[in-house]
């Protein structure tokens, strides 16, 4: 079955990974296209794989959203060993009893939808790591 990532910086395969553009001058990392580095104004970048594990540095539990958006969900900022990544925390009950700052998490993917030809759109998020 064919699959496509929902964002350009998600590389699928046996071990899915997020790929950032890293400034060759200062090391700042970005997930969107840049003509110049926001940190040092350099114009040279290289692709780098982002670590698949990290820890939650910020999160919120969303209980009210636009029509058609399933709630509750948990948007978060995850520090993947020096790279800040935004993504939802999944595969855990969205309650303060099951979430915490500093919680170890790992990258995970899931099928977000399927088109009429059977092509799967694949999303990413982070799930808790048992320690």
Three-class SS of residue 112?
strand
**Residue whose token pair is 């790591």:** 129
pLDDT tens, position by position, for the chain (131 residues)? 899 999 999 999 999 999 999 999 999 999 998 999 999 999 999 999 999 999 999 999 999 999 999 999 999 999 999 999 999 999 999 999 999 999 999 999 999 999 999 999 999 999 999 86
Q: Record the pTM.
A: 0.92
53-59 and 83-89 strand pairing: unpaired
Query: Where in the chain are the domains?
Result: 3-128
């Amino acid at each position: 079955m064919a699959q496509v990532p929902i964002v350009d910086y998600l590389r699928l395969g046996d071990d899915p990974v997020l790929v950032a553009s890293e400034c060759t001058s200062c090391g700042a990392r970005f997930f969107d296209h840049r003509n110049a580095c926001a940190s040092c104004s350099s114009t040279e970048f290289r692709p780098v794989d982002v670590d698949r594990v990290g820890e939650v540095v910020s999160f919120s539990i969303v209980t009210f959203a636009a029509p058609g958006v399933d709630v509750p969900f948990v948007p978060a900022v995850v520090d993947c060993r020096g790279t800040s990544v935004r993504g939802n925390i999944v595969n855990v009950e969205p309650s303060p009893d099951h979430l915490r700052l500093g919680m170890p998490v790992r990258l995970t993917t899931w099928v977000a939808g399927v088109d009429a030809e059977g092509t799967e759109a694949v999303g990413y998020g982070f799930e808790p790591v048992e320690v």
